[in-house]
Amino acid sequence: MRVLIIGSGGREHALSWKIRRSGRTEKLYCAPGNGGTAAEGENIVLKDDDVDGLVRFAREHEIDMVIPGPELPLTLGVTDAMKQAGIRCFGPDKWCAQLEGSKSFAKRIMERAGVPTAACGIFETLEEARDFLHRKGAPIVIKADGLAAGKGVIVAKTEAEAEDALNQIMGGAFGKAGHRVVIEEFLEGEEVSLLAFCSGETALPLPSAQDHKAAFDGDTGPNTGGMGAYSPAPILPDTELERMADIAIRPILREMAAQGHPFVGILYAGLMITKNGPKVLEYNVRFGDPECQPLLMRLDNDLLDVMTACIDGRLEEVTLSIRPESALGVVIAAEGYPGSYPKGMLIEGLDQADNLPNTKVFQAGTRREGDKTFSNGGRVLCVTALGSSLAEAQKHAYEAVSLVQMDKSQHRTDIGAKGLRRLA
Ligand code: AMP
Ligand code: GLY
C-alpha cells in the first residue's frame, strides 16, 4: 500500500515507524513530517490543514491509505474529502470529529448515550455564564467550546479566576472556539486514557495509558501537550478494559451510528477515576501524543491490517496482539516550553540511544540537515522503552534519555512515578 501520514509530531513519527514495519507498505509519505519521519519515508511540504492540497497529492500519488495524526484535519473534514476521492482514510468524518472539535457536542452525545461525565451548563452569553458560575461557586472548570490548542480548559480554584477565564474566552481570546462555553463541575481523582480502534459499533480497546500534562515534576507548572506517557497504567489494568469500554466507548459508538454517522478510527476517552466511579472528561478522535508512542511499541499487529479492517467494517475479525511488557516515553522539550523557547539546537546521541535494546527515540520538533539533527519545536523527542515491568521500562527509558545531548532542554524526571506509587 501507498500510505500518507498527516502531521509532524512524535505521534506521527511513531505511526511512520510502525507503518514502515508493515509488510504491506510500499511507499510512505508524511506531510509535513519531521526529522524522524524523514528517516522512515518521504516528507512532503504540505500543512495538516491544507485539505485540498492533501487530496490532490493523494490522488496524484495514488495513495491507498491516509492516516491523519492530529485532530485539525479531521475536524476540517479530511476523511470526507478523501472518501469522495475514493481514498481510504483512517479517522472519523467531520460530523463525528465534533466529539473533539466541540465540547458542547461531546457533552450532548454523552448525555444521550448515558456516559458518566461531570455535570455542566452550556452558554452562549456572558451574562448567563456568569450567573451560572456564581450559583455554582468554585472550584469549577471553564472550557471553550472549540479547538484551542490545549489552552481552552481552565480549572479555576476561585470564582474570580473563573470569571477571568469566562471574560477571556467569551471576549474573543479564542476566536470562534470561544463563542460558546461549557462550565463544568470540578472532579477529583486520577486521570487515565482509554483508546480503542473503532468501526461502527465495534470497539477493540488498547491497554490503558497515562499522560503527564504538567510541565514539571510532581505535576507542577503550566499545562503542556504532554511530557511523557506510559502503558499500562495500574489504575486501569487490562482486566478492566472491556468493562471500561462498555462504559466510556461503546455507548458513544451506538449513539453516533444511530445518528447516521458510524465512527471509524481511534476514539480516545480521557477519564477521571473518582471515588464515585469513572467519569469522561473529554473525547479525542485520534491517537494521543505522547500516548501513541508507548502504545504502538506494545502493539504487535500489523497496523495497516487493523486500520484497513476498521475502514472496511471488518474490525470484529481482528484480535489485538499486545506485548506483555510495559512501555514508557519521556519527552525532551526545549527550555521554556510551553511558553516561548529557542530552536535550532544540535541533538547528539540519538543513534546510541536508539541502539539500546527495546528502545526507540521518537522525534517531534526536529529537522534533519545532512547527517545532523536539530531541534525545531517545543516538544523535541519522546524517548520510549519497553521493560518487563513499569519500573524496568522507566529505568530503560531514562538510561536512553541520559545518552541524548541537547543544549537548552528540559524533561520531567518522574514519568511513571504515579503508577509506581499505586503498585507499591
Ligand atoms: P480536557 O481537554 O477536557 O481533557 O481538559 C484538560 C484537562 O483539564 C484534563 O486533562 C484535566 O486535567 C482537567 N479537567 C478537565 N475537566 C475537568 C473536570 N471536570 N474536573 C477536573 N479537572 C478537569
Ligand atoms: N496527550 C494528550 C493529547 O494528545 O491530547
For the stretch 251-286, pLDDT in tens is 999 999 999 999 999 999 999 999 999 999 999 999
Angle ∠(300,301,305) on CA atoms, nearest 5: 160
Closest CA to ligand 2's atom 5: 288
- 184 C-beta closer than 6 A to ligand 1: yes
pLDDT in tens, 134-144: 999 889 999 99
CA–CA dist 408, 201 (Å, integer): 47
Q: How confident is residue 172, by pLDDT bands cut at 50, 70 and 90?
A: confident
Helix, strand, coil abundance in the chain, percent, nearest 5: 35, 30, 35
CA–CA dist 120, 108 (Å, integer): 10
Distance 225 CA to ligand 2 centre (A): 6
pLDDT in tens, 379-403: 999 999 999 999 999 999 999 999 9
Residue 286 dihedral angles phi and psi, to the nearest 5°: -165, 175
Give the CA dihedral 71, 77, 80, 85, nearest 10 degrees: -100
pLDDT at 420 over 80: yes
pLDDT of residue 403: 98
Please say whether the dihedral angle defined by the alpha carbons of residues 244, 194, 386 and 90, taken in this order, is positive or negative.
Answer: positive
Which residue's C-alpha cell is 490543514?
A: 49
pTM for the full predicted model: 0.96
Q: Which three cell numbers stand for residue 83?
A: 472518501
- 235 C-beta closer than 6 A to ligand 1: no
CA–CA dist 34, 8 (Å, integer): 5
How many residues are recorded in the chain? Answer: 424
User: What is the pLDDT averaged over residues 120-125?
Assistant: 92
- 118 C-beta closer than 6 A to ligand 1: yes
User: What is the pLDDT averaged over residues 324-353?
Assistant: 97
Q: At a CB cut-off of 8 Å and minimum separation 6, what does 70 contact?
A: 6, 7, 9, 11, 48, 286, 289
pLDDT at 51 over 90: yes
pLDDT at 191 over 90: yes
User: What is the pLDDT averaged over residues 302-318?
Assistant: 97
- 186 C-beta closer than 6 A to ligand 1: yes
Residue type, 290: P
Q: Which three cell numbers stand for residue 198?
A: 473503532
Q: What are the chain's domains?
A: 2-89 (3.40.50.20), 125-179 (3.30.1490.20), 190-317 (3.30.470.20), 326-423 (3.90.600.10)
Distance 154 CA to ligand 1 centre (A): 8
Q: How confident is residue 234, by pLDDT bands cut at 50, 70 and 90?
A: very high
Q: How confident is residue 174, by pLDDT bands cut at 50, 70 and 90?
A: confident
* Cα separation values, 223 from 56, 113, 339, 367, Å: 37, 30, 10, 25
Closest CA to ligand 1's atom 7: 153
Distance 352 CA to ligand 2 centre (A): 28
User: What is the pLDDT averaged over residues 95-112?
Assistant: 96
Residues 264-290: b if buried by 16+ CB within 10 A, e if exposed = bbbbbbbbbbeeeebbbbbbbbbbbbb
* Atom nearest to 211 CA in ligand 2: 1
| SS3 assignment, position 58 | helix
Give the CA dihedral 225, 230, 235, 241, nearest 10 degrees: 100
Which residue's C-alpha cell is 470497539?
A: 203
Residue type, 316: E
Which residue's C-alpha cell is 541537547?
A: 406
